Amino acid sequence: MLARLKAAPLLSGFRGAAIADVAALSQLIADISLLAAQHAEEIAEIELNPVLVHAEGQGVTIVDALVVGRK
């Protein structure tokens, strides 16, 4: 799925940059998806912005997160 993104080349060492930790990014997406599905009645939206994807094996960092509950 990530390979189809326009930004996919940035994850694979574009212009000499380190290869990104795609496994950690994929795990984050899966974890957030599961959280949203398990709490769909309570959560209206989740925003993670930005998410820093570090070099392979170094993980990801969520710089800011917002979870909006349903009223």
Can you point out the beta strands (E) in 1-71?
A: 43-48, 51-53, 60-62, 65-69
Task: Report all structural domains of the chain as residue ranges with CATH numbers, in order of start.
Answer: 2-69 (3.30.470.20)
Q: How far apart, in whole angstroms, are the C-alpha atoms of residue 62 and residue 54?
A: 11
Q: Is the pLDDT of residue 69 over 90?
A: yes
pLDDT in tens, 9-61: 999 998 999 999 999 999 999 999 999 999 999 999 999 999 999 999 999 99
Q: How far apart, in whole angstroms, are the C-alpha atoms of residue 20 and residue 15?
A: 13
Assign residue 51 a region (left: φ > 0; alpha: ψ between -120 and 50; beta: otherwise): beta
pLDDT for the residue 1: 84
The residue among 50, 4, 1 whose CA lies nearest residue 27 is: 1
